[in-house]
Amino acid sequence: MFKVRMADAKFLKDMISAISILIDEATFDLTSDGIKLRAMDPSRVAMVDFEWQKTVFDEYVCGEAMKMCVNISEMMKLLRRTGKDESVELSLDEKTGRLKIAIKGKYTRTFNMPTLEAIEEEVPTPKVTFNVRAKTTTEGLREAIEDASLVSDHVRIEADNEKMVMQATGDIMGATIELKKGSDALLDIEAKEASKATFSLSYLSEIVKAAVATSDIATLEFSTDMPIKLDFKQPKEGKLTFYLAPRIEVE
Amino acid sequence: MRIEELSIPESVKQVIITSGITELYPPQEEAIRAGALEEKNLVLASPTASGKTLIAELCALKHVLERDGKVLYLTPLRALASEKYEEFRKYTVIRKRNRRRVSVGISTGDYDSSDSWLERYDIIITTNEKCDSLLRHRARWVNEISLVVADEVHLLNDAERGPTLEVVLARLMQVNPNAQLLALSATVKNAEEAADWLKADYITTEWRPVVLKEGVLLHDEFHFKDGGAQKIEKPTKNPAMNLALHIVKSGGQALIFAGTRKNSVSLAKRAATDMRTIISKPMKRSLTRIAEEILATGERTRLSELLAELISQGTAFHHAGLGGGHRRTIEDAFREGKIKILTATPTLAFGVNLPARMVIIHDYRRYEPGYGYYPITVLEYKQMAGRAGRPRYDKIGEALLIAKTEDERDYLMESYVLSEPERIWSKLAVERILRSHVLATIAADFAHTEQGIYDFFGRTFYAYQYDPRAMKGVITKILKFLYKEKMIEVNGENVYATRFGRRVSELYIDPISAVIIREALLNRAPKLTDMSFLHMVAHTPDMFPKLRPYSREIDNLALFVDEHREEFMFDVPDEWEDRIAYEEFLGEAKLAWVMDAWIEETTEDETIEKFRVQPGDLYRLIQTTRWLLYSSYELASLFGHKDLLPHLAELMERTENGVKAELLPLVRLEGIGRVRARTLYNSGLKTVKDLKEAPLNKLVSLPLIGPKLAKKIKEQVGGFVKSEEWKKLKKKKTLEQRALTQY
């Protein structure tokens, strides 16, 4: 059986919202320790690696380990109905395969939705040696990416031991955003060697915009022309990490 | 039975296990038990996706690795040949006893060649037609074949394709009586007959890897064969659409079979409207990329624009009017689960493997011009229904017919869902079809006496099913015809092909076509133009299917025929005396007109607008026209019409490329098609010399020509590229999004 409760429904809503940025149908691994999800977006450009220990929940019961696949945007539709100071309860009816979502607060409403046939697909972590590791405030990162989004659909990120520079070149306009080590935005940076890589802004900005609600601190890791890893530090025991493949210059 | 336990080389086991298969399916096990690996002839009749191909793979590798054998794999369609080629390629990592790697070759085109290069390969994949032509050329390696795999043999029942398959198998049994024969078929009622004919054992099962539930939908309720019933929501007025949306909402995909292209398009359009709210943002992002890919493939037409628009909503249509590139993109996107609702014409059911959770058979009636509506066969129904259920993804597959009334529901349940597929019947004994095979039998030395010919045809499936004597009358008639037209000569008891006859057989054309071309080349039109030759080939029976004039086109075509009367090689039938022949002539004139427009550089989009001929049809017309022009060239040179050769050669090349003569030097360059050639020409780069002298940046400044192509052009014309000039250009780079799976 699977049944969990969270006193603050917003916490769950924000997390599902972050996942729904990339994932269409999500297969969650449910175990007695907690829940996990690793999945790639349909274009196979980005992936999400998410984990919540059972301690994140106010109540957590999971008998046998199992997989649960749901249409995440449908689930999001229901969770959007949660308001301030409301709690949420998820329970899976294994017989009917339906997921029950009970929202309690001003009044109680119980939704149920179908689960889908789980897809057994191993999603391997990209094998990358990262040369740069930058710690930013999630809000600062979001601002910088929003600046870049004004002029282009992609951004080049360059870093050395002192700073991180985002360079966006559009058809008409351009932008350079410089984050210095020790500033409000860039808390820390280490670079084994100076590196630069280019990424799609539509992915980056959606990821960061969604993650900002769940996390204050973000750690970026990347190398020249390699995928970037964005880890959003979670307030409780869990993780939310994204990987995004780069854009590469071709002749 | 586990893969480990099989008596096949370890290396083969490794490849199969790596591909994720460890255990045999029950029908596969039966095939092994029946002696598939011990060179027993076998007919395997079982549903789609029950793993027949794996048995063929095991047998093939056994022959290649343990017996130094050679394998011939026959498929009915080019698309299937490529599919099998890809599947066999995984074995090329294995080394044979002589330390060389296992090699796989494919040949589907050019019917006038013995393709001696195929000899190098261990596993050779061809279409039935290509194999027939290879046999006519007496390709030497055919004698070395130790295993013949014939795929989709239930096609023996097909009036167009069946006879070729039957003749090919009979010929292979004659040339190579010791080769093992493995025939793969859908479930049919008389597999034992086919087996008996092929001197084979047979296995026939209904087993499927995914359970199939068949039923009928009436309004909002569907009834299954097993008595179960289920209600669905009715968000729209179209029951089939409600069904498709129902399955999409529960995470599946739907494949809808429509009766006509037009229906498939309108169903896809309707689906797109309803899908708009269902498609999630991440999926939409991915679909947009596929839509862009569609627009970047081939010429842009109203058809490709509509397709791209629909794909971005998670739906698409699939029919023979689409070009091959577009069809492949759609097939891949459906397999990856991105296109949720695919509407298709029935051709898809007989082509590539494209399973879906739910199959909806929207129309169980077909329309044939001049014949009216008729219900499809159970065999056809089973082929479509059999596409339901994706192995490894779906627990069950559902296939549903659509009924409008209770009576109709009962009728459909009775006549399709609860019915067994029909027997298959040979369609060989038709004069039109036999003509070419009788000539080939003589010309390719399969028989040299009248009795020998009867004997050969006595070994066909037709002779097995009916009385061989039933064919004798037709064959005698054909022999008389071939003699009269000087394609064969008689010397006492013996019959030989003349040079003419042998060439006709090798060119793979109908003897009647050859006579039509021969007469036309001799008598000639009063005014010889491109139209004369294009119409000549359109007039032959090998131009098939012909275009039919739409009723609103008739006046216009009549005018066209009148204007070009002097250019036709044949008399125009009288409009009032023989209406049918006249309209047929108009159809041929239309076809010639379409081809003429093509070589006058009409765009594909204009061709759709003006003639209602879609890209897929256009490509087929181009292929057939080119082949018949080639045959005309060969016959013209055989009959000494030297004066016609340059015109025919030019026309052939123009047909292949779709250009006016002035562009020919440009399209001969690699990477230059009709559109780019026109761009170059119009900017003043008209010859190879012009290109050689033009500066690189002038080339790059033209639309559709990037630095890479510009360099390639320069290399081909022998022009010189300064290194600094090249470096400067290389700076202009484009960004390409990588996939995460690449790391």
Interchain CB distance below 8 Å, A41 and B250: no
Same domain, B413 and B319: yes
Cβ-contact B736, A250 below 8 angstroms: yes
Mean pLDDT of B456-462: 94
| C-alpha span between B182 and B299 (Å, rounded) | 42
For residue A73, which residues of chain B lie inside 8 Å, CB to CB? Answer: 280-281
Structural domains counted in chain B: 5
* pLDDT at residue B467 in the model: 85
Nearest to A245 among B281, B285, B739 (CB): B739
Cβ-contact A158, A167 below 8 angstroms: yes
Give domain status of residue B425, yes or no.
Answer: no
Same domain, B519 and B499: no
CATH 3.70.10.10 placement within chain A: 2-114, 132-235
Q: Which helix (H) or strand (E) holds A28?
A: strand A25-30
* pLDDT at residue B66 in the model: 93
Give domain status of residue B503, yes or no.
Answer: yes
Same domain, B446 and B559: no
Best of A117, A201, A247 to substitute, by most chain B Cβ atoms within 10 angstroms, is: A117
ipTM of the complex: 0.83
Q: Residue B366 pLDDT more than 90?
A: no
Q: What is the pLDDT of residues B613-652, one digit of tens each?
A: 999 999 999 999 999 999 999 999 999 999 999 999 999 9
The dihedral built from the CA positions of residue B458, B460, B464 and B467, taken in this order, carries a sign that is negative
Same domain, B344 and B465: no
The residue with greater pLDDT, B309 or B395, is B309
* pLDDT at residue A251 in the model: 62
Give domain status of residue B719, yes or no.
Answer: yes
- Tell me whether A228 touches chain B (CB under 8 Å): no
DSSP letter string, B434-466: HHHHHHHHHHTTS--BHHHHHHHHTTSHHHHHS
Interchain CB distance below 8 Å, A41 and B285: yes
Same domain, B649 and B556: yes
Interchain CB distance below 8 Å, A251 and B708: yes
Hey, what are B191's tokens? 């597999």
- Tell me whether A227 touches chain B (CB under 8 Å): yes
- Tell me whether A97 touches chain B (CB under 8 Å): no
| C-alpha span between B377 and B415 (Å, rounded) | 9
CATH of A132-235, one of 3.90.79.10, 3.30.590.10, 3.10.450.50, 3.70.10.10: 3.70.10.10
| C-alpha span between B468 and B462 (Å, rounded) | 7
Q: Which helix (H) or strand (E) holds A51?
A: strand A46-53
The dihedral over CA atoms of A11, A16, A21, A27, expressed in degrees to the nearest 10, equals 150
Q: pLDDT band for position B157 (50/70/90)? A: very high
CB pairs under 8 A between A and B: 94
Same domain, B170 and B52: yes
* pLDDT at residue A92 in the model: 93
Q: Tell me what the pLDDT averaged over chain B comes to.
A: 92
Interchain CB distance below 8 Å, B285 and A117: no
Give domain status of residue B81, yes or no.
Answer: yes
For residue B739, which residues of chain A lie inside 8 Å, CB to CB? Answer: 43-45, 245
The dihedral built from the CA positions of residue B77, B78, B83 and B84, taken in this order, carries a sign that is positive
| C-alpha span between A23 and A27 (Å, rounded) | 10
Give domain status of residue B426, yes or no.
Answer: no
At which of B172, B204, B236 does a domain end? B204
- Tell me whether A46 touches chain B (CB under 8 Å): yes
Q: How far is A100 from chain B (nearest CA, A)?
A: 16
Using DSSP, state whether B626 is helix, strand or coil: helix
* pLDDT at residue B731 in the model: 58
| C-alpha span between A111 and A131 (Å, rounded) | 47
**Among candidates B453, B637, B629, B431, which has minimal Cα distance to B533?**
B629
DSSP letter string, B25-48: -HHHHHHHHTTGGGT--EEEE--T
Nearest to B737 among A40, A73, A200 (CB): A200
Same domain, B363 and B261: yes
Mean pLDDT of B410-421: 93
Interchain CB distance below 8 Å, A250 and B736: yes
Give domain status of residue B423, yes or no.
Answer: no
Same domain, B292 and B349: yes
Q: How far is A154 from chain B (nearest CA, A)?
A: 9
| C-alpha span between B203 and B179 (Å, rounded) | 19
Question: String of b and e for B112-133 (b: at least 16 CB within 10 Å)?
Answer: bbbbeebeebbbbbbbbbbbbb
- Tell me whether A63 touches chain B (CB under 8 Å): no
Report how far apart the first and last C-alpha atoms of chain A are (Å, whole number). 55
Give domain status of residue B422, yes or no.
Answer: no
The 8-class DSSP code of residue B371 comes to T
Mention every residue, 6+ apart, whose C-beta is less than 8 A from residue A182: A188
Q: Residue B393 pLDDT more than 90?
A: no
The 8-class DSSP code of residue B422 comes to P
The dihedral over CA atoms of B126, B130, B131, B136, expressed in degrees to the nearest 10, equals -160
Same domain, B151 and B287: no
Interchain CB distance below 8 Å, B733 and A249: yes
* pLDDT at residue A216 in the model: 93
Q: What is the pLDDT of residues B565-611, one digit of tens each?
A: 999 999 999 999 999 999 999 999 999 999 999 999 999 999 999 99
Interchain CB distance below 8 Å, A73 and B281: yes
Residue A142 burial by Cβ neighbours in a 10 Å radius (0-12, 13-18, 19+)? buried
Q: Which residues of B touch A (CB under 8 A)?
A: 249-251, 280-283, 285-286, 289, 336-338, 393-395, 706-708, 730, 733-743
Cβ-contact A244, A200 below 8 angstroms: yes
For residue B393, which residues of chain A lie inside 8 Å, CB to CB? Answer: 117, 119
Nearest to B393 among A114, A119, A251 (CB): A119
Hey, what are A120's tokens? 């057994």
At which of B387, B417, B447 does a domain end? B417
Q: What share of chain B has pLDDT > 70, as a percent?
A: 98
Minimum Cα–Cα distance from A229: chain B residue = B740
Q: What is the pLDDT of residues A139-162, one digit of tens each?
A: 999 999 999 999 999 999 999 999
CATH number, domain containing residue B127: 3.40.50.300
For residue B280, which residues of chain A lie inside 8 Å, CB to CB? Answer: 20, 24, 71-73
Interchain CB distance below 8 Å, A42 and B282: yes
Q: Which residues of chain A have pLDDT under 70?
A: 251
Using DSSP, state whether A197 is helix, strand or coil: strand
The pTM is what? 0.88
Please name the residue ranges forming H helices in B639-730. 645-657, 664-667, 674-682, 688-693, 696-700, 707-717, 723-730
Amino acid, res. A175 = A
For residue B336, which residues of chain A lie inside 8 Å, CB to CB? Answer: 42
Q: Residue B728 pLDDT more than 70?
A: no
Nearest to B740 among A21, A126, A154 (CB): A126
Mean pLDDT of B6-22: 92
Interchain CB distance below 8 Å, A44 and B740: yes
Residues 144-163 of A with CB under 8 A from B: 154
Minimum Cα–Cα distance from A21: chain B residue = B282
**Among candidates A65, A62, A19, which has minimal Cα distance to A38?**
A19
For residue B734, which residues of chain A lie inside 8 Å, CB to CB? Answer: 249-250
At which of B151, B169, B204 does a domain end? B204
The dihedral built from the CA positions of residue A205, A206, A209 and A214, taken in this order, carries a sign that is negative
Q: What is the pLDDT of residues B87-122, one digit of tens each?
A: 999 999 999 999 999 999 999 888 888 888 888 999
Minimum Cα–Cα distance from A41: chain B residue = B282
Give domain status of residue B9, yes or no.
Answer: yes
* pLDDT at residue B567 in the model: 96
Mention every residue, 6+ apart, whose C-beta is less than 8 A from residue A106: A83, A86
Cα B218 to chain centroid distance, Å, stands at: 35
Cβ-contact B71, B60 below 8 angstroms: yes
CATH number, domain containing residue B726: 1.10.150.20
Q: Residue B695 pLDDT more than 90?
A: no
Same domain, B641 and B540: yes
Hey, what are B39's tokens? 């060179």
Q: How far is A182 from chain B (nearest CA, A)?
A: 32
Interchain CB distance below 8 Å, B251 and A23: no
Same domain, B543 and B441: no
| C-alpha span between B595 and A11 (Å, rounded) | 66
- Tell me whether A205 touches chain B (CB under 8 Å): no
For residue A200, which residues of chain B lie inside 8 Å, CB to CB? Answer: 737
The residue with greater pLDDT, A106 or B340, is B340
Q: What is the pLDDT of residues B244-258, one digit of tens each?
A: 999 998 889 999 999
| C-alpha span between B98 and B686 (Å, rounded) | 53
Using DSSP, state whether A48 is helix, strand or coil: strand
Give the CATH class of A2-114. Answer: alpha beta
| C-alpha span between B648 and B641 (Å, rounded) | 11
Q: Which CA distances in Å does B402 have to A130, B223, B348, B398, B405? A: 57, 11, 19, 13, 9
* pLDDT at residue B718 in the model: 80
Question: String of b and e for B303-312 (b: at least 16 CB within 10 Å)?
Answer: bbebbbebbb
Same domain, B646 and B686: no
Cβ-contact B376, B383 below 8 angstroms: no
Q: Residue B729 pLDDT more than 90?
A: no
Domain range enclosing B716: 664-742
DSSP letter string, B577-611: T-HHHHHHHHHHHHHHHHHHHHHTT--HHHHHHHH
Interchain CB distance below 8 Å, A247 and B736: yes
- Tell me whether A13 touches chain B (CB under 8 Å): no
Nearest to A114 among B250, B733, B737 (CB): B250
Q: Residue B196 pLDDT more than 70?
A: yes
For residue A154, which residues of chain B lie inside 8 Å, CB to CB? Answer: 735
Interchain CB distance below 8 Å, A245 and B250: no
> Quick count: other Cβ atoms within 10 Å of Cβ A23?
26
